Structure formats: C-alpha cells, structure tokens
Amino acid sequence: MFVRALVMACAVVMAVPAVAHAAPARPPDPVAQAKDRVARAERDLDRARLTARRISDEADRAETEAADARQDLGSYAREAYRSGGIDLLGLASLFDSPNPSDTIRRATVVRLLAEHQDSQVADALAAVGRVDVLREQSEELVEQARSQLTAAKSALATARRKRDLMDELARGAAGGVGTEQLTELCLASDVIVDVCARSPWDESHLTFDAVLIERYVNVKWPQIDIVGGWRPSDPYPDHPSGRAVDIMMPNGGAGEDVALGDEIARYYQENAAAYGIYYMIWRQRIWKAGEPVGQWTAMADRGSPTANHMDHVHISVTNGESGTAWELAERRSADMQTLLGDKK
C-alpha cells in the first residue's frame, strides 16, 4: 500500500502543470523571459530534490520492512510449521490450554501465520524493487532538472549579451558593413561568441573577414593596443577597400615584439582559409595563402621600419566575404563554455 501511495505522491510532485499565458500586448523582454526561465528551473530542481529525498526515505523504510520480514521467517512459528505436526502441537501447547481441540486450532493458526509471513516477505521484497525503480527515476529527474537550470542560465547570459550588443549599436559605435554583418550573427547565435565583444578600434568600412581578424586580435592578444584598418588613400588598394588590417606591435617591433608578431602571424597563416586571407607581410617578408606555414619570401627595402612592416603585421583578405572564421569562433566559444560549465 505504501508503494502505491508513494507512486501517487511522486506523480503529484513531478507533474508540472501547463500555465496558459495571455498574448502580450508588446514584444516581451528577452532578458526578463530568461530570468523567468531560470526561476522556473530552480523551482523544478527544488521539487525534484524533494521528491528524491522522499523516495529515498521510503526506500529505506521498505528495506527495513523486508529485513524484518526475513527475520520473522526464522521465528518459532515458521520453524514449527516446517518441522511437522508434532512440533506444531508442541508449539501450540505454549498457548497453555488443557483442551486438545484448542491446541489443534492454535496449531492451525501457527501454520497460517507462517504462510502469511512468507507472503509478507514476498511483498516486502517486491516493494523494495519498486521503490528502487522510483529512486532511479527520481535521480534522473534531478539530473534533468539540473541540466534545465544550466541551460536556462546559459540562455540568460546570452540574452544579456545580446541586449548589450543592441545597446552598443544604439550608441552608434564606429563600424561598417562588416560590423553590421557580425552583429546580426551575434544576435542570432545561441552561444556567447568571443568575437562579439567590441574592439577599441575603428571598424568603419572594414569587410566582414577583416573585422573578424581584428576582433580576434582583441580577444587573443590583449597587449596589442592598436590595429589599423581602413584609410581613404594608399598606394595599394587593400586598405581603402576595407580588406586589410595592420596589427601594430606594442613596442615598435623591438625586443619581445618579434616573438609576439611571429606568434600572431603563424596563427593567421595556420587559419588563412578560415579568415579568407590573401597575403601577409611581417618584418620585410611576404607570405601568400597556399604557401607552407612559416615560409616567407624576402621583400625589397621600402625605406622605413613601418614601410618594411618591422613594427606591424599586415594582413590582407581576398574579398572580405570568403572566410569561415565566424563558424570557427562559434565552435571555439561553445567549447569553452562547455568546459567552464563542466568545472562548476
């Protein structure tokens, strides 16, 4: 009986009634919706934990009843029943009646008692099995509720990030077509992508691939203070077309800047296809997409450290739209958020 009652109680606790919502007069606030989702998930998790504790308590009681029933099977009544009628009569005589018929009737009671104890043991063992199943289900429910809460918190963080992006756009931060394309992707993504963080540099007139290059510099190498992009005139068409960025070294290209520039250049060589890169120049050497990573070609002296690219890494993209760096950034960010979530 207690198992049946327990099942019914669990059904009541586990059931989450559907709540009808009236159609809103205006579009709901995504952040407020995400907060409500987190609150609901926290309540569901609390209910799941309460259910698990109740089932665990019932399981403990069922196991105790089964143990008691097993012990009863070793009682004098059961031993008397199994040893035959003489012992039954002897046991029945313990009821201290001088009437032989009373003794026989009481022996029958002893036999029925033993049979009842057999049934009691079977019921108790079955109850343990059923409660164990319920305990496993309740533990699964807790895990599901915990996963739902994690997803709700992630959705809330994403909603807040999207709201912040919209606030930045509303403030008219410097940007062009490439920035607008990236912002649309950031707002549509279910992941908080690292390159969605605004860089401190002017992105006006930059193409999509060029924006992604300078955004990742901002993410990966915070020691970089300046990244140049578009300029209206130049001997070469890359900068005026928004298809080039100049990653300036923090110390003018000297000392540790050499290793830093080598590191940045190698990363973009290894990921040239993803960023749609056409060619790169660093320390009076040129590298073109398709060539082995690290295989540079020397260039003629142009007359100054900056013209020779001794103080900055120059990166030009093919057409500004051929790369797949957004997908790379989205995967990278999703993996990082998963890793951080596993550590909590």
**What are the residue ranges spanned by the domains of the chain?**
2-14+31-169, 177-343
CATH topology of domain 2-14+31-169: Helix Hairpins (1.10.287)
Nearest to 44 by CA among 70, 19, 66, 67: 19
Residue with tokens 């496993």: 136
Beta bridge partners of 327: none
Residue with tokens 């951080």: 340
Nearest to 207 by CA among 241, 246, 172, 169: 241
Distances (CA, A) of 234 to 35, 178, 205, 238: 51, 20, 15, 8
Rounded Cα distance, 142 and 154, in Å:
18
Identify the pLDDT of residue 250: 96
Identify the pLDDT of residue 68: 67
Q: Cα 124 from chain centroid?
A: 41
**Local mean pLDDT, 10-residue blocks, the chain (344 residues):** 44 43 57 83 85 77 68 54 49 50 52 56 62 74 84 80 66 74 86 87 95 96 96 94 97 96 98 98 98 97 96 97 95 84 56
Identify the pLDDT of residue 6: 42
Rounded Cα distance, 102 and 329, in Å:
90
Residue with tokens 């097993």: 70
In terms of C-beta density within 10 A (0-12 exposed, 13-18 middle, 19 or more buried), how is residue 107 classed? Answer: buried
Identify the pLDDT of residue 239: 97
Rounded Cα distance, 91 and 173, in Å:
97
Helices within 73-176 (DSSP H only): 76-83, 85-92, 100-170
Nearest to 178 by CA among 201, 210, 202: 210
